[in-house]
């Protein structure tokens, strides 16, 4: 039996951290990473005992000056090498993601390929930026009586350390998307994956280490401990995770004392709105159904961008529920290493418990469309094992005032579908009820409806995905983060901004207004 085999494994792997140029095992008690399908341990991690002060010092001195000596093009070439390393170890990484993340093969590829694609995108951007030292921001400005007295905004590399605290759901992509922007901007990184799913990130750290200059990337595996006690005025902290931790970061004494730049991507109650012009059976209607179902089941709904709240015109509610129910019925849930399984477990026991609590809160005020409260008998899994929750669709007649729907992110395969009048004002108000989200989507082939919707909704989302028949055939869906488009959102979503091409570098740079002789300013940005 599997459990016994694993328990017998004589040498449980201890995941070391890579800090100050060396692999550090840490000291003290050890925690266990488990396979969320079987609950068997897959690796161990120290709870502390690393020299974090030394890691910061290493980054500030060695790492920072290594990057200072490189052009954007050279930094981009490094990112290209990292992407290549991921491609070379793709099968191995997929195996680790299945074992430690509960990912299906498709889920694992989504994470791993997403990381590689993002690195490649920023590698290309680096080549484009070439050997500039300062990035120009906008056009020259006349600030004196004559054109001689000028102004020019620029972006300059910050001289501190970028601290990255990543979420459990994307151990590859999340790590790479933050890393790509920071390294290209010229800041050394100390990255910390979520401990529970750190196996993939640990392997990336091993793969990346020989490819990067000293001090440029350090990886802490295990609890953050006193990590943030070392940050100062020139540093950046970028965090992806839950709102509870986000609150702790915002009020951290060192972050407050030094106005440390803090980027947060937290909870997000992303909505999808079906326009009033569409039949479910239409091409755009089918895109809508496919996107809702994909976001529920891909990574078992553990995506910060997944659709949690759905509005459809009243007269389409039945058709929409039927179509979603039918699709979900065909999805096999169980051991994600099996080829026939389309959805695996949640990543941890804690996630399962949180999702179940969220479903209970929601179930108290909504009705079931599919899946009840998520009970499921997974395929190919030892009896009673694994952190499984089945796909759950709920419905409510009063979506605007349903607090458990609009105020609590359920980070799993759960969505709620509700009727509305079809007008854009209500649609935008529903999005606003989420108090700020990473992405929301609207599906319509009526351009006037779309224009009215965007005008009213855009300030509540970091991204608006506009589904239509024109793009249905090549759409990645709203749940896919793209390196060229900004990722982040206002309010509840944390108020951060990542990616978006060159915009993604700005978190790691300082905008500075240069003021003086216009010809000097021109020469400073290579003019």
Nearer to its own copies, 128 or 318 (CB): 128
Contact call for residue 425 and its own copies (CB under 8 A)? no
**In the chain, helix, strand, coil percent, each to 5?**
45, 20, 35
Contact call for residue 467 and its own copies (CB under 8 A)? yes
- Which residues are bridge partners to 190 per DSSP? 163, 218
Contact call for residue 478 and its own copies (CB under 8 A)? yes
Contact call for residue 403 and its own copies (CB under 8 A)? no
Q: 159: which DSSP letter? A: S
Contact call for residue 136 and its own copies (CB under 8 A)? no
Contact call for residue 127 and its own copies (CB under 8 A)? no
Interacting span for its own copies (CB under 8 A) from 19-27, 98-106, 155-163, 304-312: 155-163
**Contact, 467 vs 238, CB < 8 A?**
no
Q: How far is the CB of 62 from its own copies (least distance, A)?
A: 18
Can you give the length of the chain in residues? 527
Nearer to its own copies, 315 or 517 (CB): 517
Q: How far is the CB of 354 from its own copies (least distance, A)?
A: 20
Contact call for residue 454 and its own copies (CB under 8 A)? yes
Return the beta strands (E) in 321-436 as ranges. 367-370, 392-395, 414-420
C-alpha span between 402 and 197 (Å, rounded): 33
Count, residues near its own copies per rule CB under 8 A:
84
Q: What is the DSSP string of 211-229?
A: GS-TTSEEE--S--TTGGG
Contact call for residue 198 and its own copies (CB under 8 A)? no
Contact call for residue 459 and its own copies (CB under 8 A)? yes
Contact call for residue 287 and its own copies (CB under 8 A)? no
Return the residue of 1, 259, 340, 364 that touches its own copies, per CB under 8 A: 259
Residue 148, classed as helix, strand or coil, is coil
Return the residue of 468, 479, 498, 504 that touches its own copies, per CB under 8 A: 468
Q: How far is the CB of 213 from its own copies (least distance, A)?
A: 19
C-alpha span between 277 and 120 (Å, rounded): 39
Q: Is 512 a catalytic residue?
A: no
Distances (CA, A) of 460 to 7, 334, 433: 49, 36, 9
Return the residue of 463, 479, 504, 507 that touches its own copies, per CB under 8 A: 463
Q: What is the DSSP string of 71-93?
A: -HHHHHHHHHHHHHHHHHTHHHH
- Which residues are bridge partners to 30 per DSSP? 46
Q: How far is the CB of 271 from its own copies (least distance, A)?
A: 14
Contact call for residue 69 and its own copies (CB under 8 A)? no
Contact call for residue 491 and its own copies (CB under 8 A)? yes
Nearer to its own copies, 282 or 475 (CB): 475
- HSE at residue 273, side-chain half, CA atoms within 13 A, is 32
Nearer to its own copies, 251 or 383 (CB): 251
Nearer to its own copies, 185 or 227 (CB): 185
Contact call for residue 180 and its own copies (CB under 8 A)? no
Contact call for residue 470 and its own copies (CB under 8 A)? yes
Closest CA to 497 of 233, 181, 120, 235: 181
Cα torsion at 416, 419, 422, 424 (round to 10°)? -40
Interacting span for its own copies (CB under 8 A) from 210-218, 272-280, 357-365, 514-522: 514-522
Q: Which residues are catalytic?
A: 265, 304
């Amino acid at each position: 039996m599997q459990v016994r085999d694993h328990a017998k494994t004589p040498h449980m792997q201890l995941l070391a951290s890579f800090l100050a140029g060396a692999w550090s095992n840490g000291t003290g008690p050890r925690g266990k990473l488990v396979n969320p399908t079987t609950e068997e341990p897959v690796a161990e991690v120290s709870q502390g005992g690393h020299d974090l002060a030394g890691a910061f010092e290493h980054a500030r001195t060695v790492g920072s000056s290594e990057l200072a000596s490189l052009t954007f093009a050279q930094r981009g070439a490094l990112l290209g090498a990292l992407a290549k390393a991921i491609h070379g170890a793709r099968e191995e990484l997929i195996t680790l993601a299945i074992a430690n993340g509960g990912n299906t093969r498709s889920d694992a590829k989504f994470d791993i390929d997403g990381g590689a694609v993002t690195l490649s995108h920023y590698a290309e951007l680096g080549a484009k930026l070439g050997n500039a030292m300062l990035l120009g921001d906008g056009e020259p400005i006349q600030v004196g009586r004559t054109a001689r007295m000028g102004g020019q905004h620029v972006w300059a590399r910050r001289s501190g350390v970028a601290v990255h605290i990543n979420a459990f759901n994307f151990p590859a992509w999340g790590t790479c998307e933050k890393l790509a922007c920071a390294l290209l901007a010229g800041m050394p990184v100390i990255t910390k994956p979520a401990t529970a799913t750190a196996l993939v990130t640990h392997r990336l750290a091993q793969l990346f280490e020989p490819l990067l200059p000293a001090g440029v990337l350090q990886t802490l595996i295990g609890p953050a401990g006193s990590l943030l006690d070392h940050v100062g005025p020139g540093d950046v902290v970028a965090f992806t995770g839950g709102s509870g931790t986000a609150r702790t970061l915002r009020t951290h004494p060192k972050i407050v004392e030094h106005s440390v730049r803090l980027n947060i991507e937290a909870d997000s109650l992303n909505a999808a709105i079906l326009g009033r012009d569409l039949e479910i059976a239409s091409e755009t209607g089918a895109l809508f159904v496919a996107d809702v179902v994909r976001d529920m089941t891909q990574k078992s709904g553990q995506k910060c961008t997944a659709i949690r709240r759905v509005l459809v015109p009243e007269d389409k509610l039945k058709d929409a529920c039927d179509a979603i129910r039918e699709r979900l019925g065909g999805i096999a849930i169980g051991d994600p290493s099996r080829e026939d399984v389309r959805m695996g477990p949640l990543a941890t026991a804690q996630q399962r418990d949180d999702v179940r609590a969220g479903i209970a809160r929601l179930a108290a005020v909504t009705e079931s469309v599919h899946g009840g409260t998520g009970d499921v008998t997974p395929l190919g899994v030892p009896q009673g094992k694994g952190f499984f929750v089945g796909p759950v669709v709920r419905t409510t007649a009063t979506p605007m005032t349903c607090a458990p729907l609009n105020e609590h992110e359920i980070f799993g395969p759960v969505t709620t579908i509700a009727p509305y009048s079809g007008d854009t004002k209500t649609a935008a108000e529903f999005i606003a009820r989420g108090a700020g989200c990473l992405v929301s989507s609207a599906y319509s082939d009526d351009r006037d409806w779309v224009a009215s919707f965007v005008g009213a909704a855009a300030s509540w989302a970091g991204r608006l995905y506009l589904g239509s028949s024109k793009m249905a055939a090549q759409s990645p869906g709203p749940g896919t983060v793209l390196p060229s488009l900004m990722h982040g959102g206002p309010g509840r979503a944390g108020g951060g901004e990542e990616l978006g091409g060159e915009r993604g570098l700005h978190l790691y740079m300082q905008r500075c207004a240069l003021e003086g002789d216009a010809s000097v300013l021109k020469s400073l940005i290579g003019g």
